[in-house]
Amino acid sequence: MIDKNQFRGHEQLAYFHDKESGLKAFIAVHDTSLGPAAGGCRVWPYESEMDALNDVLRLSRGMSYKNAMAGLPLGGGKAVIIGNSKTDKSDELLKALGRCINSLEGRYIAAEDVGMCTEDVMIVASETKFVAGLPQGDHASGDPSPFTAKGIYNGIKAAVKYKLGKDSLEGLTIAVQGVGHVGQYLCEYLHNDGVKLLVSDIVQENLDIAVQKYGATIVATDKILSVKADVLSPCALGAVLNDETIDHLNVSIIAGGANNQLAQDYHGVRLMDKGILFAPDYVINAGGIINVSGETTGNYDVSWVNKKVDNIYNTLIHIFERADKEERPTNVVADEMAEEILAKAKAANKAKTAA
């Protein structure tokens, strides 16, 4: 396991099994140089525990980079629960998760992710104080989805400005893969800007809402990655950009909210070679964790959160410029920038300890 490519310098990996509730979960703490590891908890019916392990390792590392690039005083961590969010999730299971998180004594702070909502987090919070994204209580920040969507919207505008030279999104065609909580908010932003929306999702209700509210056109899930559009915005699960799909892409820009969109790091090279501008996912989708960070300070300020989310535009422009100058993929450049921030934090922490 330690030899696996995904296991890159993680500080801690914990496996939890609570027989009574049926909980099977991994929690990975990647890096705490900047502060306690923070990241959402995902519920997903993984085919195997090894698949869940791979996911939590990739996601937690992405959170370290995401928090670093967003300028947050947080490290990177993630939790995944092996199960179906519709049938396996129960109050007992969520409470067991809370006890597992509590046993890490603050090294990991949980929040919402796929398969978890604010109400679920409230149940987790009955067993531990190391949670954020709460819908009520002192300094509660609520559902982070609107802030995630706003960050993606800002990122799309940055990519369109850089690649297409346009200050407006009006008249562009944007394909959104996945129109759940984040995708719906994103569609609203894009619709208000006069975008022609193409959407796909495995849940018909989500598609119906996108059609009724935003005039979207439905595309089959197996066709959305090959449709002709100006921008592809993956907002479902990761690894959608791989050896098979990249050959069929018909867009100029990829800018979406899903985590780990590249199946492998080298797929960033493939996109660059095709002339497709890729907005690194952990940079463009940082709005949610920025909002959560505002809550963890104990002094939630929505104006501070919005300012940070708006700055995603500038961060991406900087990445695009550096990638072009160095003739390297945007994902590689973003990784190096994040690692530079983490290295400085580690050096500072070491100096403090020595003093």
Active-site residues, by number, are: 78
Beta strands in the chain (DSSP E): 12-18, 23-31, 37-44, 75-82, 108-111, 173-177, 196-200, 217-218, 231-234, 253-254, 277-278
The 3-class SS string of 118-136 reads HHHHHHHCCCCCCECCCCC
Of the candidates 332, 315, 347, 327, which has an alpha carbon nearest to the alpha carbon of residue 68?
315
Of the candidates 305, 273, 275, 307, which has an alpha carbon nearest to the alpha carbon of residue 292?
305
Spatial separation of the C-alpha atoms in residues 61 and 252, rounded to whole Å: 28
Spatial separation of the C-alpha atoms in residues 179 and 176, rounded to whole Å: 7
Indicate the burial class of 13 (C-beta count within 10 angstroms; 0-12, 13-18, 19 or more). Answer: middle
Tokens 């990739």 locate to 58
- Region for residue 166 given its phi and psi (left: phi exceeds 0; alpha: psi -120 to 50; beta: otherwise): beta
Give backbone dihedrals phi and psi of 325, rounded to 5 degrees, phi first.
-60, -40
Tokens 């959402």 locate to 40
Beta strands in 120-260 (DSSP E): 173-177, 196-200, 217-218, 231-234, 253-254
SS3 345: helix
